Amino acid sequence: MKLIFEKSSVGRTAVELPDFEYKKADKKVPKEFLRDDVNLPELAEIDVIRHYTELSRRNFGVDNGFYPLGSCTMKYNPKINEDVSRFAGFAGLHPLADDGLSQGSLQLLYEMREYLCEIIGMKGFTLQPAAGAHGELTSVMITKKYFKDLKEDRKIILIPDSAHGTNPASAAHCGFDVVEVKSDADGNVDLAELERLLTKDVAALMLTFPNTLGLFDSNVTKIAEMLHENGSLLYMDGANMNAMLGVVRPGDLGADLIQLNLHKSFSTPHGCGGPGSGPVGVSKNLVKYLPNPVVKKKDDKYYLDFKNKESIGKVHAFQGNFGVIVKAYTYIRKLGAQGLKDAGENSVLSANYLRVKLMHDYNLPYKRICAHEFVLNDLDMPNHVTTGDIAKRLLDYGIHAPTIYFPMIVHGAIMIEPTETESIQTMDRFVDVMKKIKKEAKENPDLVRNAPHNLFVKKLDGVKAARELDVKYWPGC
């Protein structure tokens, strides 16, 4: 397929503008509007439409097919959420509008915070953070302020080797030293290792829960107890909260801080589908540190309170990615308490269904009941077929590849998450395809190793691409 610049033809245009006369001495005409050296493509409207429609057909999304991308919750999201986010009162509201003109939106933010406190079991929430890693960073900032007020110079944050990869970056960005905690043979935090590392210099442990192996840490309450006895905080990375909705409240397990991913667990497009939202919940003793402003209510009126002097300050312009919050609010209101519980239970049921169906054809490193996702690997695959080969071959069958080679504590990892929104027919087809690929690896390994065969882009030489980068460039752009 040609670049849109290569389709350009001089004089062929999509729009016609009226003649624009100006005097060069007229200072009211901005200079940037007068440039004639921008090398833009010249095409008719039909050329533009066909070009971008063709590009869209080459894209894969959850509306096209199964997307079992583990640890990212690429689930189907009800379109009613999109409709509500486009209501004129939400989409058309200026963020600087007076509180008196923003009562509906402020009410939604207030109620959303209260819902999350109840669902997660925390005493306070901020909706400002833009996504998961931003929520992590906000939590670490709160942790730092908490110990500063205690006049304790704690320099270390412990992070299990089964944690999300952004956790160490968030901790280091705030000036903490990161120390890794190993997992035990069952995929839990190694308690003996934790006890050895838990010194008075430790500010917190960042626990991904469930972890990236797709496992609930069965020692979570013991971990919380050990940390609190040491004066340390327990932060939970709640990006995988969809596995616990309506079933487990992290606050009841001893979490002091938690970040959520509304764009995963609470149904809004994830990844390239749109922006994120990473609310942070805290325990009672940390509420005062939440970012300003906070939406409050007095005499049935909602208002923004900027007065908290102990706050860590703003972490995002205005009230965060408001449209994403509207979608998540719609999801919660539509499902209700029982619906959220059903979603949590079904996500776990779906993952365990696939785990059992595939564990005899592919190696399962941790032979336990999983949460929302599970990890296979390429150990003992015939003819040295690798995880990368399996992932590419899946594309030929119209299924997006799962997360591969992560978590790194599992060699050749294949992380699979079906989510709660997929039918048993879809999951059965996925199982059939995975088993077929295993058979192909045994009988015709080159078919798998040279995949994909049916896509626009064929098998790539990853090493060559990395070392000999060739990016098309159009002069003048």
Q: Which residues of 401-422 are buried (b: 16+ CB within 10 A; e: fewer)?
A: bbbbbbbebbebbbbbbbbbbb
CATH 3.30.360.10 fits 79-335, yes or no: no
- Domain ranges across the chain: 1-58, 79-335, 337-465
Q: Describe the strand order of the beta sheet including 233-238 as a list of residue ranges.
A: 124-126, 280-282, 257-260, 233-238, 202-208, 156-160, 177-181
Which carries the bigger pLDDT value, residue 154 or residue 77?
A: 154
Question: What per-residue confidence (pLDDT) applies to 35?
Answer: 56
Rounded to whole angstroms, how far apart are CA atoms 197 and 170?
20
Q: Which DSSP helix (H) or strand (E) runs through 403?
A: strand 403-404
Task: Tell me the pTM.
Answer: 0.90
Q: How confident is the model at residue 29 (pLDDT cuts 50, 70, 90)?
A: low
pLDDT-derived band of residue 170, with 50, 70 and 90 as boundaries?
very high
Q: What is the pLDDT of residue 472?
A: 67
* Cβ(373)–Cβ(429) below 8 Å: no
In b/e form, how buried is each residue of 218-257, taking b as 16+ CB within 10 angstroms? ebbeebbebbeebebbbbbbbbbbbbbbbebbbbebbbbb
Q: What is the mean pLDDT of residues 360-384?
A: 96
CA–CA separation, 226 vs 256, rounded Å? 13
Q: Please state the rounded mean pLDDT for residues 95-115.
A: 96
Which residue reads 């908490």 in tokens?
A: 146
Beta strands in 137-240 (DSSP E): 156-160, 177-181, 202-208, 233-238
For residue 73, what are its two tokens? 């919750």
With 80 as the cut, is the pLDDT of residue 243 above it?
A: yes
Q: How far apart are CA 405 and CA 181, in angstroms?
A: 20
Is pLDDT at 61 greater than 90 in this prediction? no
> pLDDT tens, 175-211?
999 999 999 999 999 999 999 999 999 999 999 999 9
Reduced to 3 DSSP states, what percent helix, strand and coil does the chain have, rounded to the nearest 5? Answer: 40, 10, 50
How do residues 252-292 score in pLDDT, each as one tens digit?
Answer: 999 999 999 998 899 887 766 578 999 999 999 999 999 99
What three-state secondary structure class fits 216? coil
DSSP state of 92: T
What the block records as the tokens of 392 is 């590419």
Please provide the average confidence, as pLDDT, over all residues in the chain.
92
For residue 97, what are its two tokens?
């509008």
Q: Tell me the HSE value of 410 on the side-chain side, using a 13 A CA sphere.
A: 29
- The amino acid at 445: P
Q: Taken in order 314, 318, 323, 326, is the CA torsion positive or negative?
A: positive
Report the range of poorest mean pLDDT among 32-46, 137-151, 439-453.
32-46
Q: 337-465 — its CATH code?
A: 3.90.1150.10
CA distances from 464 to 450, 457, 460, 467, 469 (A): 16, 15, 8, 5, 8
Mean pLDDT of 78-85: 93
- pLDDT in the model for residue 302: 98
